Amino acid sequence: MHYQTFANQYHFQRIFVPRFELTYESWGSPALKAINQCLKGEKRERGTSLVYQNKTFAPIAVDWNKYGGPPELIYSTCFSASDFAFLHHVYRNLPKKVPIIQHFLDLDLTNYNEMVSLYLELCPAIVAVWTLTKPIWSAVSKFSFREPEMVQALQQRIVGKSLKVHRNFSEDFKPIIIGNIWSGSAFHTLRNIWTSCQSELKGLPPIQWMGHPRRFKVLKIMDIDMTVSTTDPVIRDAGFLTNRIFKKRLQNADLAIVAFSGDYVDKEHYTNYSLPSRIGDYCANGLPLVVISQKNTEPWRIVEENKIGITLDPSDHQGSVKKLLQFIQDKDLRATCGNNAQDFARRELNLDLYQKNLYPKLISYSREKLHREFLQTHFSP
């Protein structure tokens, strides 16, 4: 199996998955240089990553012998023109044609015509199209030859009932953020709201943001001004943690924050289609959520429909401050939302159940002999 871009080994613990991640390679790196030699590739603005390469390709710089031969199946998480260009490039140079499962975990419709063109050229090989959310399903349905199926993928290990004790507010209160914030507007909205809350509620500590240093570097490359430090009084850089310490921080936290979109849309495809995977971590650990987002986004919908936290309207600063202060000081409401969050994770994000259904599907698709024979005869990239 070849899991194309943004591989997550956690979902495939019993299957070896070769990983090819070019997303954050510098333009001059050996990997991109080998792939783009003599091609019509172009640098992205600010010089990062691979972009649409038109339709001139050189042999792929992958030694499949290192992985025991070519794959039997491609599980693809492409979501943009550049991703599909890379998948197309890989597929054209496979020694044998194999089925593709296309799972849209996100969707970026920039360079729409190029993306759809590449997608349609791969269509004979695509045996299943999965989407993470309903908005993605609706958008993909407009150009996909095969009707998409909703397949959730924010899976977590669920071990028994949460033993989390929800505490009254004190100066030891622990608000956290994990992962990325892709919207500069959302980041600054959160900073303003939290600063106002700190002025109203004595002893409210800074938010602890746990993330990899490379992610902060990427945000800087993308011209998103999210400067944080280990001494910041509002949003503090808590560093990149080992799994053991990370799990302990999640278990000991009181509040989880998702800064998704601000008072204006600066990342349209992200706001329209994305669903941050960290929501799964929060819910599995029984944490109440605070989502800062414009209405009708997926994080807003999930929190409101499942009663797992509160949503803050970024265009209403005073209303958001008042709502957040009440939530912080209402232990019983936070406890109810935290319990609902874990119930939601147990019901819809259970990794064991997901794998139990996923593996047979993967094996079935890889063994579709008639489809494989069709590919060998009719697919001419």
- List the one residue out of 243, 227, 233, 236 whose CA is nearest residue 176: 236
Same domain? 115 vs 21: yes
Same domain? 34 vs 108: yes
Same domain? 218 vs 356: no
Same domain? 76 vs 209: no
Residue 13 lies in a domain: yes
Same domain? 293 vs 360: no
Same domain? 138 vs 279: no
Question: Whole-angstrom Cα distance, residue 275 to residue 269?
Answer: 11
Number of domains in the chain: 2
pLDDT computed for residue 35 by the predictor = 43
Same domain? 195 vs 130: no
User: What residue numbers bound the domain in which 355 lies?
Assistant: 2-155+351-378
pLDDT computed for residue 71 by the predictor = 78
Q: Residue by residue, what is the 3-state secondary structure of the chain?
A: CEEECCCCHHHHCCCCCCEECCCCCECCCHHHHHHHCCCCCCCCHHHECCCCCCCCCCCCCCCHHHHCCCCCCEEECCCCHHHHHHHHHHHHCCCCCCCEEEEECCCCCCCHHHHHHHHHHHHHHEEEEEECCHHHHHHHHCCCCCCCEECCCCCECCCCCCCCCCCCCCCCCCEEEECCCCCHHHHHHHHHHHHHHHHHCCCCCCEEEECCHHHHHHHHHCCCCCCCECCCCCEEECCCCCHHHHHHHHHHCCEEEEECCCCCCCCHHHHHHCCCCHHHHHHHCCCCEEEECCCCCHHHHHHHHHCCEEEECCCCHHHHHHHHHHHHHCHHHHHHHHHHHHHHHHHHCEHHHHHHHHHHHHHHHHCCHHHHHHHHHHCCC
Q: What is the CATH number of the domain that holds 235?
A: 3.40.50.2000
pLDDT computed for residue 193 by the predictor = 97
Residue 186 lies in a domain: yes
Same domain? 84 vs 197: no
158 touches 349 (CB < 8 A): yes
Question: Whole-angstrom Cα distance, residue 87 to residue 20?
Answer: 10
Same domain? 372 vs 280: no
96: tokens are 């044998």
pLDDT computed for residue 212 by the predictor = 72
Residue 301 lies in a domain: yes
Residue 166 lies in a domain: no
Same domain? 182 vs 201: yes
Residue 161 lies in a domain: no
Same domain? 107 vs 44: yes
pLDDT computed for residue 24 by the predictor = 37
pLDDT tens, the chain, 381 aa long: 343 333 333 333 333 333 343 333 444 445 444 444 433 333 334 333 333 333 333 444 556 676 677 778 888 888 887 778 777 767 877 777 788 999 999 998 987 887 888 888 888 889 899 999 999 999 999 999 889 999 888 878 776 666 678 999 998 999 999 988 888 899 999 999 999 999 999 999 999 998 777 666 666 665 666 777 889 999 998 887 777 888 888 889 999 999 999 988 888 888 999 999 899 999 999 999 999 999 989 999 999 999 999 999 999 999 999 999 999 999 999 999 999 999 999 888 888 888 788 878 877 877 665 455 555 555 544
Residue 318 lies in a domain: yes
Residue 188: C-alpha distances to residues 181, 183, 224, 316 (Å): 11, 9, 10, 14
Same domain? 300 vs 361: no
What is the crossing angle of helices 184-200 and 317-329, to 10°?
A: 60
Residue 374 lies in a domain: yes
